[in-house]
Structure 1
Amino acid sequence: MSTEEGVRQLEQQWASAEARGDVEALAALTTEDFVLVGPLGFVLDREQWLARYRTGDLVTESLDWHDAEVRDHGDCAISVGVHTQRGAYRGNTVDGEFRSTHIAVRRGDRWLLAGIQLSPIGAPPAFAQNTSQPAGE
């Protein structure tokens, strides 16, 4: 199996486990030192990330991982794609569409997630929107 195939399979398993809130599956798909950087810049270690489901604080109604491009770096792969979710955290809606970077590492014959970073998808900043005028005008 190619790196791209292995990472895509891992990501499908991850998205499915997140949608089910399956703590055991998520634990099996991640490294011990896994870290999540959330869309507002907060950082969760693996146990904090898993605890969201254990406590029932996070309920994911749907999660779609798409438009991902995988870059192979030997025993590490970087995947950048779009993470679209519907859900609630402690009763508050956490629906959104995020650009997400996944870091996967090869452990023997399988791939594991070592990190995920989510960034909100928005328009370019105001200073980058009008490129027809020279800077300073």
Structure 2
Amino acid sequence: MSTEDQVRQLEQRWVEAEERGDADALAALATEDFVLVGPLGFVLNRPQWVERYRTGDLVTESLDWHDAEVRDYGDCAVVVGVHAQKASYQGNRVDGEFRSTHVAIRRDGRWLLAGIQLSPIGAPPAFARNPAAPQENPEGW
């Protein structure tokens, strides 16, 4: 099986674990030093990333991972794709569409996620806007 196929299988297992809220499966898919850079620039290590599901703070209703391109660098692969989610965090909607970069590494013949970065596509996601803040341009131009 090609590296691309193996990494795509890892990505599919990740999507399924996120949608199930399966903290144990997510932990098993990630390196010990895994890091997530969220869409607002926050950084989570592996325990913090997994804990959001253990506590029920993060609920992913659906995650669509598409337009992913895998670049093979031997025991490392970089995947850039589109991450579209319907989710809530601590009861607040965190729906959005993000350009995402995943770094996967091969350890002992097994592919693991070493990092994920999410960047909003287009305008900041709705959950990043502060409705109480004054608008600089109320006419929309």
TM-score, normalised on structure 1? 0.88
Equivalent in the alignment of 1:14: 14
Task: Tell me, in whole angstroms, the C-alpha distance in 1 between the residues paired with 2:103 and 2:34.
Answer: 9
Task: Tell me, in whole angstroms, the C-alpha distance in 2 between the residues paired with 1:57 and 1:75.
Answer: 34
Equivalent in the alignment of 1:61: 61
What is the Cα deviation at residue 28 of structure 1? 0.7
The residue type paired with residue 94 of structure 1 is V
**Map 1:69-88 → 2, pairs under 5 A:** 69-88=69-88
* Runs of at least 5 residues in structure 1 that lack an aligned partner in the other structure: 124-137
The residue type paired with residue 27 of structure 1 is A
What is the Cα deviation at residue 108 of structure 1? 1.8
User: Which secondary structure state, in structure 2, belongs to the residue aligned with residue 27 of structure 1?
Assistant: helix
1:89 to 2:92 alignment? no
Equivalent in the alignment of 2:47: 47
What is the Cα deviation at residue 109 of structure 1? 1.8
Equivalent in the alignment of 2:4: 4
TM-score, normalised on structure 2? 0.86
Moved over 3 A (4+): none
Equivalent in the alignment of 1:102: 102
User: Which secondary structure state, in structure 2, belongs to the residue aligned with residue 81 of structure 1?
Assistant: strand
C-alpha RMSD over aligned residues: 0.8
Task: Tell me, in whole angstroms, the C-alpha distance in 2 between the residues paired with 1:43 and 1:80.
Answer: 19
Task: Tell me, in whole angstroms, the C-alpha distance in 2 between the residues paired with 1:39 and 1:54.
Answer: 21
Q: What is the percent sequence identity of the aligned residues?
A: 79
Equivalent in the alignment of 2:127: none
User: Which secondary structure state, in structure 2, belongs to the residue aligned with residue 14 of structure 1?
Assistant: helix
Task: Tell me, in whole angstroms, the C-alpha distance in 2 between the residues paired with 1:111 and 1:33.
Answer: 14
Task: Tell me, in whole angstroms, the C-alpha distance in 1 between the residues paired with 2:107 and 2:77.
Answer: 12
The residue type paired with residue 90 of structure 1 is Q
Task: Tell me, in whole angstroms, the C-alpha distance in 2 between the residues paired with 1:115 and 1:80.
Answer: 12
The residue type paired with residue 100 of structure 1 is S
Task: Tell me, in whole angstroms, the C-alpha distance in 2 between the residues paired with 1:15 and 1:43.
Answer: 20
